[in-house]
């Protein structure tokens, strides 16, 4: 394969990350917290759900991912103060103006941050600093801090670090800790982002195992066990899946139990349908799975009818999401 072809393929996979997540999200929206679909039922982008959403409209998962993606598009160093501040401010703006629904933990941390900023008459408090501090305090107080809300929005970070998996892991931790003080959430994001990174770079389907070495040594066996459990049990075994470990297991189980090949028409859709059939937090599990499946097979594998329908806050459609993915890759030298 010549360089031009391989660049084209990689750009296709990069676009597939955001489009795969958004289409998974929109496919899962109608079934969130509703009766679980049977193995024969095929999810459809009919809208409804918690919003209620229009057909094809994506939800909080992709809305928050877009906040991160735009910051990565606008800044050279994702961990710099300005980049983190733009993301944190975008989360707050989204909560006020765009959030069609919002997870309990994220709502709590963003609400606390809003109040902390309002209490600071001098306006010297940074939103990112306050958000990270308040989520850490929540975790320190023993409150539930390992929801799936940072994993659902983490995929764009892979696009800003295609050449450096260690830098990716560092950045992912920082972005997870904005709202999720529990290191478990960050660990899940590291594994998933590294799987996405590798899939974009070379079409790998190795999955989240490839990132185990990026975790602290004492966490590797635990996560290897979580992944083995996902490979052994069907997606529905991991519902309820609001806990980040269960959400990752449900998404990985859906992919691992749905073998597809390059020529398959449903190579993107079939694993994502399996993720929706996991039940419970269907849009989030399908957004998580969709980001990795989209990274593996690219935009060109996502059905045209999904690309034509997908849309959401703050006004993106498929072409805009694909363009955003390309801009992140180019800015970060991938
Ligand atoms: Mg959602």
Q: Alpha-carbon distance 224 to 210, whole Å? A: 10
Distance 29 CA to ligand 1 centre (A): 7
Helix, coil or strand: residue 38: coil
Q: Going by C-beta distance under 8 Å and a sequence separation of 6 or more, which residues neighbour residue 283?
A: 24, 25, 26, 27, 28, 29, 31, 32, 49, 58, 59, 61
Per-residue model confidence (pLDDT) at position 98: 87
Helix, coil or strand: residue 37: coil
Separation in Å, CA 264 to CA 44, 115, 213, 271: 19, 51, 32, 12
Per-residue model confidence (pLDDT) at position 120: 86
The phi, psi pair for 312, rounded to 5°, reads: 170, -175
Q: Going by C-beta distance under 8 Å and a sequence separation of 6 or more, which residues neighbour residue 187?
A: 215, 219, 223
Token reading at 313: 């806050």
Distance 331 CA to ligand 1 centre (A): 28
Distance 59 CA to ligand 1 centre (A): 4
Distance 61 CA to ligand 1 centre (A): 5
- Yes or no: say if 269 and 304 are a contact pair by the CB < 8 Å rule: no
Per-residue model confidence (pLDDT) at position 2: 59
Residues less than 5 Å from ion ligand 1, measured at CB: 59-61, 283
**Cβ neighbours of 236 (radius 10 Å):** 18
Q: Alpha-carbon distance 19 to 12, whole Å? A: 10
- Yes or no: say if 194 and 211 are a contact pair by the CB < 8 Å rule: yes
Distance 49 CA to ligand 1 centre (A): 9
- Categorise residue 207: left if φ over 0, alpha if ψ from -120 to 50, beta otherwise: left
pTM score, two decimals? 0.97
Q: How many CA atoms lie within 13 A of 133 on its CB side?
A: 11
Distance 1 CA to ligand 1 centre (A): 39
Distance 220 CA to ligand 1 centre (A): 29
Per-residue model confidence (pLDDT) at position 123: 80
Indicate the angle between helix axes 3-28 and 282-297, nearest 10 degrees. 170
Residue-wise pLDDT tens for the chain (334 aa)?
Answer: 556 667 899 999 999 999 999 999 999 999 999 999 999 999 999 999 998 999 999 999 999 999 999 999 999 999 999 999 999 999 999 999 988 899 999 999 999 999 999 998 778 889 999 999 999 999 999 999 999 999 999 999 999 999 999 999 999 999 999 999 999 999 999 999 999 999 999 999 999 999 999 999 999 999 999 999 999 999 999 999 999 999 999 999 999 999 999 999 999 999 999 999 999 999 999 999 999 999 999 999 999 999 999 999 999 999 999 999 999 999 998 6
Residue whose pair of structure tokens reads 């490979």 in the numeric block: 231
Distance 278 CA to ligand 1 centre (A): 15
Helix, coil or strand: residue 317: strand
Distance 25 CA to ligand 1 centre (A): 7
Q: Which of 7, 60, 32, 4 is nearest to 281 (CA)?
A: 32
Per-residue model confidence (pLDDT) at position 124: 81
Distance 324 CA to ligand 1 centre (A): 20
The 8-class DSSP code of residue 35 comes to: P
Structural domains in the chain plus CATH codes:
3-331 (1.10.4080.10)
Distance 213 CA to ligand 1 centre (A): 30
Q: Cα Rg for the chain, rounded, in angstroms?
A: 18
């Amino acid at each position: 394969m010549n360089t031009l072809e391989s660049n084209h393929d990689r750009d296709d996979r990069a676009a597939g990350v955001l489009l795969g997540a958004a289409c998974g999200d929109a496919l899962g929206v109608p079934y969130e917290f509703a009766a679980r679909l049977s193995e024969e039922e095929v999810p459809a982008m009919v809208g409804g759900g918690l919003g209620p959403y229009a057909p094809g409209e994506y939800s909080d998962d992709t809305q928050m991912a877009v906040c991160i993606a735009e910051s990565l598009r606008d800044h050279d160093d994702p961990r710099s103060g300005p980049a983190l501040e733009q993301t944190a401010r975008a989360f707050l703006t989204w909560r006020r103006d765009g959030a069609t629904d919002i997870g309990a933990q994220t709502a709590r941390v963003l609400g606390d941050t809003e109040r902390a900023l309002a209490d600071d008459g001098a306006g010297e408090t940074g939103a990112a600093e306050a958000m990270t501090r308040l989520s850490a305090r929540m975790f320190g107080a023993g409150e539930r801090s390992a929801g799936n809300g940072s994993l659902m929005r983490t995929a764009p970070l892979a696009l800003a670090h295609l050449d450096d998996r260690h830098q990716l892991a560092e950045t992912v931790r920082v972005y997870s800790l904005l709202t999720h003080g529990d290191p478990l959430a960050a660990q899940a994001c590291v594994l998933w982002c590294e799987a996405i990174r590798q899939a974009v770079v070379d079409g790998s389907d190795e999955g989240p195992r490839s990132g185990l070495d990026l975790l602290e040594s004492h966490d590797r066996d635990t996560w290897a066990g979580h992944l083995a459990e996902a490979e052994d049990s069907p997606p529905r075994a991991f519902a309820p899946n609001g806990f980040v470990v269960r959400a990752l297991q449900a998404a990985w189980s859906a992919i691992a139990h749905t073998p597809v090949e390059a020529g398959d028409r449903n190579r993107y859709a079939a694993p994502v349908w399996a993720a929706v059939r996991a039940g419970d937090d269907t849009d989030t599990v399908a957004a998580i799975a969709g980001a990795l499946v989209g990274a593996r097979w690219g935009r060109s594998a996502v059905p045209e009818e999904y690309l034509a329908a997908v849309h959401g806050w703050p006004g993106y459609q498929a072409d805009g999401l694909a363009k955003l993915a390309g801009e992140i890759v180019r800015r970060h030298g991938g």
